[in-house]
Amino acid sequence: MENNLICNGCGIKLQTENKEALGFTPKSSIEKDQLLCQRCFQLRHYNKNATVPLDSNDYLNMVSTINKTNSLVIHLIDIFDVNGTLLTSLPRIVGNNPIILVGNKVDLLPKSTNQRKLKDWLFRLAKEAGLKVLDVFLVSSAKGHHLDELAVRMEMERNYKDIYVVGVTNVGKSTFINQFITRSTGIKEAITTSYFPGTTLGFIKIPLDNRSALIDTPGIMNTYQMAHYVSKKDLKIITPKKEIKPRNYQLQSGQTLFIGGLARFDFVKGDKQTFVCYFANELPIHRTKHENADSLYEKQIGKLLSPPNEETLKTLPPFIKNSYRVEEQYTDIVFPGLGWITILNSNVTIDVYSPKGVAVSIRNSFI
């Protein structure tokens, strides 16, 4: 009987035989019509996350079946982590299906952000990545900002087709879909949401009419993001929960900024100037002289320089250095899943350090 039932939280097929396997739920839960696997039950009621034995290829293979459909695709990205969440592999995943690019968590950006400029910037970025998008929307799933306008455009474009919501882990897909379900049916928290990557394990279909559905898909793992290298407690600290307050640091060459103990920024050469830091408000930033940075890191990692906490330190990869010569004004140094530092002036030389595997990048600033 349970072979035909799926978990309402993550979309995995339910089973009652193997406690260690995906989709396990006690028979008593099915008899009570509580269609949640044990993992989702723990996530929803106790915020506990169980290990998921699926790798990035499993996720990718599952989601790539979309290219065989005739549907509308919503590509959800995290505005606070554009470089870590924009899927350059999306054409291979969704084929020729039309795409609407949706920047989520816009409420986390400073209110002074020019949203028209941001949308134009996202259009250019998508085009450079080879994505052909119909439109760009900036929304907040958590606050409900601009979801009504997006819903109108989705309805206009889908023409009775299914809608697939696609994105990397932890961009807020389930929260995004829950907003639409709540607005249309009044049902709250229909899909399990969590801080932890990889909450959705299979396709979850929510009927839109007799012919089509809104479909939540598994989050695609992007191991370049900081989220995959920190503990659950540290992830909550580095994940912004409210509007980011930019922090300005006036530095001379030879000074260093530590972003907790998870990243390092060295101002090597250039005129004295201000650097603007965009990170979660709870994440501490520590300034020191370049000559003292190595010894400070060795002595204070996990203490003054935290996060990482003790659990993260057990598995955190060593720092890798990248050097940049910045020739243009208003350039961002991006730490995927952590935040970014804006360099306001040109002719600057910097060294940046991040855990091996976290791919630091450089871009033109959108703020």
pLDDT digits (tens), the chain, 367 positions: 345 787 766 667 788 888 777 777 887 776 666 677 776 676 666 555 444 444 556 666 777 889 999 999 999 999 999 988 998 888 888 999 999 999 999 999 998 899 999 999 999 999 988 888 999 999 998 888 999 999 899 989 988 899 999 988 778 888 888 887 777 666 666 554 443 344 444 677 878 888 888 888 877 777 788 988 999 899 999 999 999 999 999 999 999 999 999 999 999 999 999 999 999 999 999 999 999 999 999 999 999 999 999 999 999 999 999 999 999 999 999 999 999 999 999 999 999 999 999 989 999 998 8
Give me the pLDDT at residue 238, please: 96
CA 156, 161, 166, 170 torsion: positive or negative? positive
Give me the pLDDT at residue 194, please: 41
SS3 call for 364: strand
Which residues pair with residue 148 across a beta bridge? none
Distance, C-alpha 236 to centroid of its chain: 13
Say how far apart CA 204 and CA 5 lie, in whole Å: 12
Which residues lie below 8 Å from residue 171, measured CB to CB, with a gap of 6+? Answer: 76, 77, 78, 85, 104, 219
Question: Which tokens sit at 142?
Answer: 């958590």
Rama region for 11: left / alpha / beta (φ>0; ψ in -120 to 50; rest): left
Give me the pLDDT at residue 300, please: 97
| Three-state SS letters, 28-74 | HHHHCCCCCCHHHHHHHHHCCCCCCCCCHHHHHHHHHHHHHCCEEEE
Which residues lie below 8 Å from residue 268, measured CB to CB, with a gap of 6+? Answer: 253, 254, 290, 323, 349, 350, 351
Provide the strand spans (E) within the chain. 71-78, 99-104, 133-138, 162-166, 204-207, 213-216, 247-251, 255-259, 263-269, 273-279, 285-289, 319-326, 331-335, 339-343, 348-355, 361-364
8 Å CB contact between 133 and 96: no
- Could you tell me the domains of the chain? 2-46 (no CATH), 56-222 (3.40.50.300), 237-364 (no CATH)
Amino acid at 113: T
Question: Which tokens sit at 265?
Answer: 């920024």
Which residues lie below 8 Å from residue 256, measured CB to CB, with a gap of 6+? Answer: 264, 265, 266, 267, 287, 288, 289, 290, 293
pTM for the model stands at 0.79
Which residues lie below 8 Å from residue 259, measured CB to CB, with a gap of 6+? Answer: 265, 277, 279, 283, 285, 335, 338, 339
Which of 76, 124, 134 has the alpha carbon at shortest distance from 102?
76
8 Å CB contact between 220 and 168: yes
Which residues lie below 8 Å from residue 285, measured CB to CB, with a gap of 6+? Answer: 247, 249, 257, 258, 259, 260, 277, 279
Amino acid at 95: G
Give me the pLDDT at residue 43, please: 61
Give me the pLDDT at residue 50, please: 47
